Structure 1
């Protein structure tokens, strides 16, 4: 029975090769699906995964976007069915397929990416960092800075993230947002418990951004000093330092309403404080933090009042999941 099945697959493969040579892509696509079905039945996963990857790339290079994407989705389905866990091997390959699908096929491309990230997550929340890193670089090459930043947030490439942010700010941002771009990113990374990447991103950004004078820390921009001190407080786990920082830099923190939400979550993650709505009066730091959080809603003629304008950095949150 197995021999008969193998002969059947061989005949299909011969037809597949002939269809490809003749440029009959529709017929070739059907042959790929036929072989896929038979290989699945035989649990010949390694051969099948290689075949689907090569077929997807071949179709995409031949401008057969729909067929190429379909084989890419079949590949992810086989990765799931075979319980493949080698993200180091397959993340670059899935990224190549993603890149070749191209920007003219957003619906198909988004569907492929969603499935690729879901496979790479393997029980985690956001997908494998290596896949996000590859996808971020592709979006960056396409100058899609918002999506590139979103995927860098979920990678562990702080250096690449910082370099992207510098180009993003210089290309699309306002001059007064120099510190806002890095502050929001670092706070979001900390909310994702990614302290090491947050430190690497901040250091690379402040050392390489042409509009930040290389004299810090301390920096000329107060918000940069707050972020630097915050990273030190998290490293030392000193809740007193965190409380004083929030009080002393309240004017800088007011520049973006999102910062309070981020800091509340950071306080929970790194300092063991309760969520803001659950905090009770009293306690050694309760009143101070409560006062700080409540005081942020007061009006202020703080420096950089122009931040009341719609800022580029604030819009970045729309594509970043932090839960």
Structure 2
């Protein structure tokens, strides 16, 4: 890393000494000093390298607050830089996220900042870069934070990973009667995100790998059959098939009041149906 002058070089030497001596407070302040100098000169690449190294060092040393502070500055620097979002920068952000204590509020702030940065230059990524969401999801899954992992998987393109997580989630915390509910909401939400390929992969992996799901299709459980047929209907694009399918499976769809809301949106996205006539009731197929 270029030093950028004798003054910066002196700070770098002092910084290294502080780290070796375990004087992390002083090290943190010097990281910030160097950051402001690089930032003022718009030397964002050097600033990002410095902040990432510093955040790693402090987080690995158990200095959570200081480490998160540098991690936030790292993301802020990535935001300012002219570089587009890359897999390498996503990997670094997710590594820092992994090292932050799950129980502190700053971790949520880090995720919010990371998602905002990952939208950079891509209008189609309003919810954040799929690769960022996928890596965040895996970390949260390993921490057994299934609900948050599910949220990030649904904003990724990793249908296989989502299915494996949902299986573990259901087997660990769900009831046997909910085996079809866990996958139904996920598939419908993927479709609401216009992500049909991932919806298909998620359903296929879930039904093939879940120990409580019989071979298919067709399936013994009506909702699993509905999902299989729904994906075929989306592929075909015929509104009559979609409408009849939703009407025929209403008894099963009524197990969760959100299903018909998702189907309203799917009808609009894939079949050109209008929004519900009455805003207070979005159930096109409800009774």
**Alignment TM-score > 0.5, same fold:** yes
1:248 deviation in Å? 1.0
1:150 deviation in Å? 0.6
In 2: Cα distance, 1:246 partner to 1:233 partner: 11
1:275 is aligned to 2:267: no
- 1:195-249 deviations in Å (ceiling 9; x for gaps): 11001100110111111111x1110001111110000000111111101101111
1:116 is aligned to 2:117: no
Q: Give secondary structure in 2 for the equivalent of 1:245.
A: helix
Q: Which residue of 1 aligns with 2:148?
A: 147
1:19 deviation in Å? 1.1
Which runs of at least 4 in structure 1 moved beyond 6 Å after TM superposition? none
Q: Which residue of 2 aligns with 1:315?
A: none
Q: Which residue of 2 aligns with 1:29?
A: 28
1:257 is aligned to 2:231: no
Q: How does 1:1-323 map to 2 (within 5 A)?
A: 6-105=5-104, 107-122=105-120, 123=123, 124-214=125-215, 216-277=216-277, 293-295=285-287
Q: Give secondary structure in 1 for the equivalent of 2:207.
A: helix
Is the contact between residue 87 and residue 128 of structure 1 (CA under 8 Å) also seen in structure 2? no
1:48 deviation in Å? 1.6
Is the contact between residue 141 and residue 165 of structure 2 (CA under 8 Å) also seen in structure 1? yes
In 2: Cα distance, 1:58 partner to 1:133 partner: 25
Number of residue pairs matched? 280
1:61 deviation in Å? 0.5
In 2: Cα distance, 1:41 partner to 1:220 partner: 64
Is the contact between residue 261 and residue 283 of structure 2 (CA under 8 Å) also seen in structure 1? no
CA RMSD in angstroms comes to 1.7
Cα distance 1:41–1:233, how it changes in 2: closer, same or farther (>3 A)? same
In 1: Cα distance, 2:108 partner to 2:278 partner: 38
Return 5+ residue gaps in structure 1 as ranges.
280-289, 296-323
Q: Choose between structure 1 and 2 for higher RCO, CA contacts under 8 A separated by at least 6 residues.
A: 1
In 1: Cα distance, 2:107 partner to 2:135 partner: 15
In 2: Cα distance, 1:104 partner to 1:220 partner: 41
Q: Give secondary structure in 2 for the equivalent of 1:277.
A: coil
Is the contact between residue 260 and residue 283 of structure 2 (CA under 8 Å) also seen in structure 1? no
In 1: Cα distance, 2:71 partner to 2:31 partner: 12
1:14 deviation in Å? 1.2
1:104 deviation in Å? 3.3
Q: Over alpha carbons, which structure has the higher Rg?
A: 1
In 1: Cα distance, 2:286 partner to 2:267 partner: 16
Return 5+ residue gaps in structure 2 as ranges.
none
1:86 deviation in Å? 2.6
In 2: Cα distance, 1:82 partner to 1:292 partner: 47
Cα distance 1:166–1:125, how it changes in 2: closer, same or farther (>3 A)? same
In 2: Cα distance, 1:293 partner to 1:153 partner: 25
1:47 deviation in Å? 1.8
In 2: Cα distance, 1:101 partner to 1:160 partner: 23
Is the contact between residue 87 and residue 131 of structure 1 (CA under 8 Å) also seen in structure 2? no
